[in-house]
Amino acid sequence: MYRVCGTFVFVFVLLMGCGNTQSSAPESVSSTDLISAIAVESKVLERADALPQVGEMAPDFQFTMEDGTTTKLSDLQGQKVVLNFWATWCLPCREEMPHLQQVVDEYDDMVVVLGVNKLETVDAVRPFAEELQVTFPLIVNDTGDISDRYGVRNLPVSYFINSDGTVAGVESGDALNPFKLGIMDYEFLEQQLAVLQ
C-alpha cells in the first residue's frame, strides 16, 4: 500500500514538473531540479587518453533520469559542481553521502552535486538512495566509462568543478586504504566550495 502511494506521489511530482517547456532563456539547473534521484542511463561524450587535470575542462558526459530527462555535464556550466564517484559496497562512500546531502540541503542554489556510481545497477542503487535519503542525482554508470574517463580506480573520488566547467580540484579517499584521506565531511566540503569560482 505504501509503495503504491509512494509511486503515485513520485509520478505526480514528476508530471507537475512537465509544464511548458518553452523558455526564452536557459534556467540554471540545481540538484533538486534533477531530483528523480537515479539516472538510469549514462555515457561519456568525449574520449581522450589523458586524464583531466586541474585547470582543464571536465570531460563531458550525459545522463538520463528515470523520467526521460537527459542532462549533460556541460549543461551545468554557470554553476559549481561536485562530482562524487562512489559505490554501494564502499564504506567511506556511504559515510560521505550524508555530508554531500547536507551540502545539497544548505547550498542547493550555489552548487550541483552529482553522484556517479561505478559499475552497479539501478537495482543496487535504489535501496541505497532510499536508505540514506539521498535527493541529489545518483548516476548509474554500469559500463564504468565515466569513472574510467576521470581516472577513478579506488573510491570515493570527488572532482570539484568551477562554474566555467574547469576542474578546480580532486579529492580521493580510498576504500582499500581508509587512512589515506578518510571521508570528506561537511566542513571539508564547505572549504572546497569556498574556493570554487
Domains belonging to the chain, first-starting first, are: 28-195 (3.40.30.10)
**What is the full per-residue pLDDT of the chain (197 aa) written as tens digits?**
444 344 333 333 333 343 433 333 334 444 444 444 787 778 787 777 788 999 999 999 999 998 899 999 999 999 999 999 999 999 999 999 999 999 999 999 999 999 999 999 999 999 999 999 999 999 999 999 999 999 999 999 999 999 999 999 999 875 444 444 457 788 888 888 898 99
Q: How far is CA 34 from CA 6, 31, 56, 137, 176, in A?
A: 18, 5, 25, 6, 31
Residue in 50, 57, 41 with CA at minimum distance from that of residue 116: 41
CB 83 within 8 A of CB 170: no
Distances (CA, A) of 148 to 17, 30, 46, 76: 33, 26, 12, 21
pTM over 0.85, yes/no: no
